[in-house]
Every structure is written in structure tokens, then in C-alpha cells.
Amino acid sequence: MLILLKQSVNNSIIMNRKEENKHLNKEWKQINFHLNAFLETGNQEELHRFRVQIKKLKAMLTMFQHGNKRQVLLKNFKPIAKIFKLAGNIRDAHTNMLLKEKYNIKNDLFEEGQQKIIENGISQFKEKGSKYLKRIKEVQADIKKNLSNIEDKAIADFYKIKLEIIAKKLAVPNFNEDMHYNRKIIKTLVYNHKLANKALNGIVTINSEYLDKLQDVIGEWHDNIIAAQLFATTELNDKTIVTKIKRKNTSVKKNILDLATNFLQKATLAEADVLEKQVEPV
């Protein structure tokens, strides 16, 4: 296994509690903005952005907790995860409707069922909107109380451990929940990269462009899995479309395997070095 950390690491503090809270506040602000916009309009894009911001905030907390003495940040975050899941039910139904249109499926009963899930979900969300906003504010206060200073080494350790977990899983890749889990870890590293970069400087160089590309292709594979499962249900039962999606995913899986080869080397090279290696010699 490639050793990513230099033996001598400066134990300086790159982020104190005040700095952490400043970065977190930006995410809380966006979460509240998009939730309020969704409650007002019922717009699916606002709901999507609300959920993306929650993912970004959770990624930040996951990194902060690695260097946190109290180790309770993600526990504090759990009430937000519940709101995220409820929002996901609405998004799943919306995605199903988009898939129906994409594959030109005509099924009135299915459409009515999904539309009912969306409408009921939005109605319940609006009804409990003020409660959700209040809960978010309470969670923000709890997390703020439990922040602690983080050393550079803790952040570098976090990246090292996560990269080695992914590398180990990709060494013998399994196209199951493990692959989806890989994507979640990679997205956590990508979301935090700008924030963590100063702490990583001189210790490990992260190729965020490569990581983002890899998680994107894994995301495409996972989306196809979900679509195939949808069209295999008793309600739709379209074997032709399922076969078409699976055939498409064979190509996507090959792309993942190609990208995942020598993962650590690709993930920790400077982007300029990677691009240089891709240039054909004269």
C-alpha cells in the first residue's frame, strides 16, 4: 500500500473552532435558503439543491469529526439526516417520472401513483416546514457547541485513511453496495478538498479532477441499477428496457474499471502531472 503521509508532519492547527463554524455557517445558510424556496414554490430543483447542501455539510462534519475530541458531530447531525430522507422520498418519485419520460413508458396507473407521492410529500413538507427550520437551527447550535480545533495532521490522516479504504475496495472491485459506498467516500473528499487543501499541502496532493470523474461514472452506474430495478417491478415489467439498461451498464462498468486502475497513484498525483502523462510522446 502506498504511504501517502510523510513521516514528519507539522502538528499546526489549520482550523480553529471559529474558522470551522464560519465554513459550516455558509452551508447552513444555503440549506435554509433552498428549503425556504422549496416550501414556498414546491420546485424540485430547490429540493435537489437542499439535499446537495446537506450532503456537503455532512461531508464537512465527517472530516471535522475525525479530528474532534468529542466525536459527536455526526450524532448531532442525525435529525437533519431524517429530514434529508423524507425529502429523498419526493425526489425518488420525481426521478421515476423522469425515467418514465426518458424511456417513453406509457402507464397511467404508475404515473398517478408517483404523482400522488410527490404531491402528498410536498404537502406534508410544507405543513411541517416551520418545524424543520426550527430543528435545523437547533442542530446548528448543538454542532457549534461541540466543535474543537483541528490539527493539519488530523485532516491529512482523514484523507489518507479514506483513500486507502477506497484503494483496497477497488483492488478487487465489486459492483454492489461497496461500489456505491466508494462513491460516497470520494464525494466526501471532493467536497472538502478546497477547505482541506492548506492542511494537505506538502503532505499529499489530491487530484480532485480525477476523483470527481470517477465518482461521476460510478454515479452513472448506480443510476442505471436503480432504473433497471424500477422497470423490472411488477408494475412496469418491461424486460426490453431492462435489457437495454443492463447492456448500457456493461460499458459503464468497463469505464469504472479503467479509471479505477492504479487508484492511489491517480488520486494523489498533481493534475498537471496526470495530464502530462496522457500526452503522446513526439
58-69 pLDDT tens trace:
999 999 999 877
Domain-embedded: residue 278 = yes
Do 74 and 192 lie in one domain? The reply is no
Domain-embedded: residue 8 = no
pLDDT at res. 190: 97
DSSP assignments along 208-262, one per residue: HHHHHHHHHHHHHHHHHHHHHHHHTSTTT--HHHHHHHHHHHHHHHHHHHHHHTT
Does residue 172 carry a pLDDT above 90?
yes
Among residues 134, 150, 166, the one where a domain terminates is 150
pLDDT at res. 13: 59
Do 177 and 241 lie in one domain? The reply is yes
Do 146 and 29 lie in one domain? The reply is yes
Q: Looking at per-residue confidence, does 218 or 10 come out higher?
A: 218
Do 163 and 54 lie in one domain? The reply is no
Does residue 55 carry a pLDDT above 50?
yes
Do 146 and 167 lie in one domain? The reply is no
Across the strands, what pairs with 150? 15
**Residue 281: domain span:** 151-282
Q: Looking at per-residue confidence, does 13 or 2 come out higher?
A: 13
Across the strands, what pairs with 151? 13
Average pLDDT over residues 14-24: 90
Domain-embedded: residue 9 = no
Among residues 150, 170, 196, the one where a domain terminates is 150
- Give the count of domains, the chain: 2
Q: pLDDT tens digits, residue range 119-167? A: 999 999 999 999 999 999 999 999 999 999 998 889 999 999 999 999 9
Do 52 and 170 lie in one domain? The reply is no
Q: Sorting pLDDT into bands at 50, 70 and 90, what band is 11?
A: low
Do 137 and 155 lie in one domain? The reply is no
Does residue 184 carry a pLDDT above 60?
yes
- What mean pLDDT is reported for the chain? 91
Q: Which runs of consecutive H residues, i.e. helices, occur in the chain?
A: 17-41, 44-66, 73-102, 108-127, 129-145, 152-171, 177-200, 208-231, 239-260, 263-268, 271-278
> Rg of the Cα trace of the chain?
21
Do 122 and 81 lie in one domain? The reply is yes
